[in-house]
């Protein structure tokens, strides 16, 4: 890959999108990684020779996937309105979630994952409990199970301290801007279960269905999903890239992956490759952690604050 001129970097040479190259210098493309590896590490005089490119490509992609899961700090965010069925469909490149928040009144409120089941399938049954089938032998199911129906209609009670919690019924409170607040001094409760002590809406993730299910208090609300992907750019190899701080690790990962599965390679060489890979990952993680002394100082300034 050639270096970009300033004109190309800032304006993409006048081609839309003009911001195409902004920040691109942080990354090295998958194409370059594979090309460099084939050029530098796969040769008649190297430990690795006669290795097919598709194997190198496979290991390079696997390394990038692994890095995306935990080492990179590249968290994607998607904001959507929760639909009438109280669902948020997971994005196409979703692998795992980091944080789910309600965006309301200008505040981002982190939501709590509900520890109870929020959605279920249901089979239709007759009055004797027998499961009903169609003429084709397919099992009959309603659109929503009873649990889902109650959750969507808002009649499902919550164990969390939000407005679906029956404990709040009959309790004195104050309504301010549509939200209820309660004065615990008048009826203090002891033995609070802190696990469920959150007034915000709750969610559960149905991985098989590919949706996030919310309780009824999230209906038509704005939800922000922060999540990690695997960096595969939806299969567009030309867009797959990796931060330069991890470039050497990716080479080491590929080397190790190939050497460790090769016949006749001495164990000390495999071991050396493994150690090299681990050390490079550790180094890269430290480098990318960005521990800035200035920010640390600001946090530490709070150490002398008086706690009332």
The residue (of 6 and 136) whose beta carbon lies closer to another protein is: 6
Smallest separation, CB 249 to another protein (Å): 18
12 binds another protein per the rule CB under 8 A: no
287 binds another protein per the rule CB under 8 A: no
Q: Which stretch binds another protein (CB under 8 A): 141-149, 229-237, 251-259, 264-272?
A: 229-237
Smallest separation, CB 77 to another protein (Å): 25
CB 100 within 8 A of CB 223: yes
Please list the alpha-helical segments (H only) found in 73-154.
Answer: 146-153
45 binds another protein per the rule CB under 8 A: yes
Task: Single out the residue of 21, 27, 62, 171 in contact with another protein (rule: CB under 8 A).
Answer: 62
| Measured distance between the N- and C-terminal CA atoms of the chain, rounded to whole angstroms | 59
Number of residues assigned to the chain: 308
Please list the alpha-helical segments (H only) found in the chain.
Answer: 6-11, 30-40, 53-66, 146-153, 247-260, 267-288, 293-300
Pairing of the two strands 241-243 and 27-29: antiparallel
Tell me how far apart the alpha carbons of residues 231 and 196 are, in angstroms, rounded to a whole number: 34
Cis status, amide bond into 17, omega within 30 of 0: yes
Task: Single out the residue of 106, 170, 178, 238 in contact with another protein (rule: CB under 8 A).
Answer: 238
Q: Which stretch binds another protein (CB under 8 A): 46-54, 129-137, 213-221, 278-286?
A: 46-54
Smallest separation, CB 238 to another protein (Å): 6
Tell me how far apart the alpha carbons of residues 218 and 295 are, in angstroms, rounded to a whole number: 35
53 binds another protein per the rule CB under 8 A: yes
Residues that bind another protein (CB under 8 A): 2, 13-14, 31, 34, 44-45, 52-55, 57-58, 61-62, 232, 235, 237-238
């Amino acid at each position: 890959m050639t270096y970009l001129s300033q004109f190309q970097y800032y304006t993409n040479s006048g081609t839309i999108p003009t911001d195409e190259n902004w920040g691109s210098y942080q990354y090295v493309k998958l194409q370059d990684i594979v090309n460099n590896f084939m050029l530098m590490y796969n040769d008649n005089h190297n430990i690795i020779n006669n290795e097919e490119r598709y194997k190198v490509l496979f290991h390079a992609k696997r390394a990038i996937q692994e890095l995306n899961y935990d080492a990179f700090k590249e968290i994607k965010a998607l904001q959507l309105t929760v639909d009438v069925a109280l669902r948020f469909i997971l994005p196409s490149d979703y692998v795992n979630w980091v944080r789910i928040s309600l965006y309301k009144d200008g505040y981002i409120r982190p939501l709590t994952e509900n520890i109870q089941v929020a959605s279920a399938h249901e089979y239709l049954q007759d009055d004797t409990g027998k499961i009903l089938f169609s003429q084709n032998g397919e099992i009959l199911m309603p659109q929503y199970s009873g649990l889902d129906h109650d959750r969507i209609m808002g009649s499902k009670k919550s164990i969390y301290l939000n407005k679906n919690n029956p404990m709040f019924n009959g309790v004195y409170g104050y309504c301010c801007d549509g939200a209820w607040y309660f004065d615990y001094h008048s009826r203090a409760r002891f033995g609070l279960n802190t696990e469920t002590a959150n007034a915000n809406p709750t969610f559960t993730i149905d991985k098989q269905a590919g949706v996030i299910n919310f309780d009824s208090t999230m209906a038509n609300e704005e939800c922000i999903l922060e999540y990690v992907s695997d960096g595969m750019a939806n299969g567009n190899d030309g867009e797959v890239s990796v931060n330069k701080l991890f470039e050497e690790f990716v080479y080491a990962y590929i080397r190790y992956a190939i050497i460790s599965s090769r016949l006749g390679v001495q164990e000390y060489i495999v071991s050396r490759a493994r150690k090299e890979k681990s050390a490079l990952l550790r180094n890269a993680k430290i480098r990318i952690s960005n521990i800035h002394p200035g920010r640390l100082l600001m946090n530490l300034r709070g150490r002398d604050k008086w706690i009332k």
